[in-house]
Amino acid sequence: MLVTRYLAKDLFNGKTVFVTGGGSGINLGVAKNFAALGANVAICGRTREKLNAAAAELSALGAKVCAVAADVREFGALEKAFARSAAELGPMDVLVCGAAGNFLVPAETLSPNGFKSVIDIDLLGSFNASRASFEQLRATKGTIIYISAGMAYMPHAFQVHVGAAKAGIDMMMKNLAIEWGRHGVRTNSIVPGPIEGTEGMKRLSGEAQLAKLINGIPLKRMGTVDDIGQAAVFLASPLAAYISGCVMVVDGGQNLAGSALFNMGAEQMLRAQVG
């Protein structure tokens, strides 16, 4: 892990980091980066088996771990999960709101309940976690990091529910930055670009599709879960003490390459002309 090559391994010693949806994917990657830097790590999710496997990985990195089965849609379940992690690991210093649900579906066939499910998990779930953690974060002058998505500012076909949810999360983050800043609580979002090995990327079939995707990223590579973990570590660290209300895009520049010219390969064409 790069994070332990460049940062002191005790950076988060004695600190408690809670990651919702921390049982797998990007969120587990985030949890692991904090664990590698000495944090106590709590995770919650709906699937006990996933949580157990994730807890074993986090313990192997030397972290004290608390893994609680809880659905972020249920405020009471989160209150209990946060009380348990505080009892076992100490009050929360960092909350990462990562729990999310997603599926591709054309808007005209998406049922209202399908739309509501994603809003409930992503947006309401992030509010629930923020609200239920507030007293702990106020006491520690802690910080919240939301895992947002590019759909929050750039529409994607078949993602009307996710775009609405993630845009809501980013605005909620900004609202909380101005309301809770006076308590020393900072809030920020991370927008991950295409991250290799994740559920979403597995759905992209075929090398040709992948090559096209990578060609559309200025840094010419997919992101890794560690790229997101490192961004989260930075935002939670004292280095980011004056950063609040910020959306940090971690996508190799992909969002800047959305112009039709770039996507059509015109950049290479023009480069060839100008030498």
Residues annotated as catalytic are: 148, 166
Give yes or no for residue 262 binding ligand COA (CB under 6 A): no
Per-residue contact track with ligand COA, 75 to 104, x per CB under 6 A? Answer: -------------------------xxxx-
In the DSSP assignment, the letter for residue 41 is E
How far apart, in whole angstroms, are the C-alpha atoms of residue 59 and residue 263?
43
> Where are the alpha helices (H) located in the chain, listed in sequence order?
2-6, 25-36, 48-60, 75-89, 112-118, 125-140, 160-180, 199-202, 207-215, 225-236, 260-263, 266-274
- Three-state DSSP class for residue 78: helix
Give yes or no for residue 74 binding ligand COA (CB under 6 A): no
Among 86, 89, 118, 152, which residue sits at the site for ligand COA (rule: CB under 6 A)? 118
Dihedral sign from CA coordinates of 124, 54, 241, 250: negative
Closest by CA to 32, choosing from 230, 240, 234, is 230
Give yes or no for residue 111 binding ligand COA (CB under 6 A): yes
Site for ligand COA in 183-202 (CB under 6 A): 199-200
Give yes or no for residue 222 binding ligand COA (CB under 6 A): no
- Output the smallest distance, CB 189 to ligand COA, in A: 15
Among 5, 113, 205, 242, which residue sits at the site for ligand COA (rule: CB under 6 A)? 113
What residues make contact with ligand COA under the rule CB under 6 A?
100-103, 105, 110-111, 113-114, 117-118, 121, 199-200
